[in-house]
């Protein structure tokens, strides 16, 4: 079981639709730790750690499963897992 860290930037219609709460729910469902926050440019930023295959499933869900969001782009930067997080939080 390979653990990884992923830093995501999600662009599109992802603010004002409950997207951060959706991200948190999906992360917790997949046993991932990290955080999510809105950025001033209208995007949503996510950092998460966990099993690589679970992060990949998480990313696919974020791209396609929110009922009101429209994801135009989702950028992913992979890194080694540092075990920095113990929960998945919404930050401001």
Residues known to be catalytic: 20, 38
Q: How far apart are CA 91 and CA 78, in angstroms?
A: 21
Long-range pairs of 55-60 with CB within 8 A, sequence gap ≥ 24 = 55/4, 55/6, 55/30, 57/30, 58/26, 58/27, 58/30, 58/32, 59/6, 59/8
Residues 22 and 71 sit within 8 Å (Cβ to Cβ): no
């Amino acid at each position: 079981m390979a653990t990884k860290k992923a830093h995501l930037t999600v662009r599109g219609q992802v603010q004002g639709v409950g997207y951060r709460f959706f991200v948190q729910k999906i992360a917790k469902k997949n046993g991932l730790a990290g955080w999510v926050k809105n950025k001033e440019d209208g995007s949503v930023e996510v950092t998460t750690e966990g099993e690589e295959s679970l992060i990949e499933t998480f990313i696919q869900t974020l791209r396609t499963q929110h009922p009101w969001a429209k994801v135009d782009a989702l950028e992913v930067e992979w890194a080694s897992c540092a075990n920095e997080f113990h929960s998945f939080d919404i930050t401001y």
